[in-house]
Structures are given as structure tokens and as C-alpha cells.
Amino acid sequence: MEEIIKKVLNENIDESIINVSGSEAKYTVEIASNLFLGKSTIDRHKIIYALLDKYIKSGEIHALTIKALTLDENK
């Protein structure tokens, strides 16, 4: 599932740095992208949740911890 999450995010968020870890339907996503410039933490999380919605609804992802930063914040 980690690779699927990474693939979905890579395909939909350009120029991003992504790290996914976890198991047993509990995952942590650390992502840095300038897509998040000017967006609140909640808006950043909504983007990730929307992209992974299919897997959340199916139960493949039960718990998701998100750390979403801009590229500058990630330095």
C-alpha cells in the first residue's frame, strides 16, 4: 500500500518530495510541494485526503497522518 500511496501522490502533485511509511492500514505521509503555498494546514490535508479517498473508503487506509509542507518549509 505504501507504494500505491506514493504513486497516487506522485502522479497528481508535480515536483514533490514524498515519503510514506506504515503498515496494517495505518500510514504516515510526509510530502513537500509548492502546491501547498498559501494554503492552510487543513486545506493541505484536504488535498491529500481527496487523492486517497478511494483507499480510505475501502478501508485499505484506516488511519492517515499527514505532514504537508512547501519545498521551502521542508529545508
User: For 18-49, b where at least 16 C-beta lie within 10 A, e where not — what string?
Assistant: bebebeeeebebebbbebbeeeeeeebbebbe
In a domain, 60, yes or no: yes
Q: What is the pLDDT of residues 10-64, one digit of tens each?
A: 999 999 999 999 999 999 999 999 999 999 999 999 999 999 999 999 999 999 9
In a domain, 74, yes or no: no
What integer pLDDT is reported at residue 48 of this predicted model? 98
What integer pLDDT is reported at residue 67 of this predicted model? 98
In a domain, 32, yes or no: yes
- pTM comes to 0.93
Residue 75 banded pLDDT, cuts 50, 70, 90: confident
CB 34 within 8 A of CB 71: yes
Distance CA 12, CA 14 (A): 6
In a domain, 59, yes or no: yes
Residue 51 belongs to domain spanning = 2-69
What integer pLDDT is reported at residue 33 of this predicted model? 98
Number of folded domains that form the chain: 1
